[in-house]
Amino acid sequence: MKKLYPTFADSSNYRGLTQNVNRLSGKESDTLKASVLERDNYKCSYCNFHAEEWQTINYIDGDSSNNKKSNLTTACPMCNLVLNTPLGCQIEGIVELYQVSAYDQNKIVQLTRKMRAEGKKDDEIRRSLGLKIKVPFKMNKRYLNSLFAFITSWKGSYGDVEEALEYGYSH
């Protein structure tokens, strides 16, 4: 498994905010994504969660213009939120950050998914994971790398992210 920790991609290379000559068309992007998912057997490279739905592709070096297959890896919805902490913390509002945990980030995701499937509530999961000292999000990679992310079960405006996460909880 690849090491997982809260982080984010450099926004100057993020999702076409700049003119990028290496940007793939929709069809090229879909073909490349399918190829990577098949290569990785639809298994998340960070937590080993296997699913043929909702898996996404992560740019290992954070550069969305680097479309080499060696720079792409499969990530489940939970790991994707950890890898894109601003999305989880600020946009979706379902990621909390902690200074202390009894487990590493990869195991936090695995155990959270397992306990959610068992019907456990957030407070019980936090206690089981030994999550302590909740801290605010800061757009600082060094700060984030030392923290632990917890994906809550908050149900806000139901959308793709919540649907993708629930798929993982019930399978």
| Max CA separation in the chain (angstroms) | 48
**In this predicted model, what pLDDT tens digit does every residue of 101-112 receive, in sequence order?**
999 999 999 999
Q: Is the pLDDT of residue 157 over 60?
A: no
Query: Is residue 20 scored above 70 in pLDDT?
Result: no
DSSP run (H or E) holding 60: none
The per-residue pLDDT for 65 is: 82
Q: Which residues are 58's β-sheet partners?
A: 73
For residue 16, what pLDDT is reported?
47
Residue 75 pLDDT more than 50? Answer: yes
| Residue 24 buriedness (CB in 10 A; 0-12 / 13-18 / 19+) | middle
Question: What DSSP character marks residue 87?
Answer: I
C-alpha torsion angle, residues 64, 69, 72, 74 (rounded to 10):
140
Report the alpha-carbon distance of residue 32 to residue 26 in Å, rounded: 10
Task: Give the model confidence (pLDDT) of 115-154 as tens digits.
Answer: 998 989 999 999 999 999 999 999 999 999 999 999 998 7
Contact 13, 63 (CB under 8 A): yes
Q: Average pLDDT over the chain, rounded to whole?
A: 86
d(CA 13, CA 162) in angstroms, rounded, equals 26
Mean pLDDT across the stretch 65-83?
A: 93
Spatial distance between the Cα atoms of 90 and 115, rounded to a whole number of angstroms: 25
The torsion angle over the Cα atoms of residues 89, 75, 9 and 14, rounded to 10 degrees, is -100
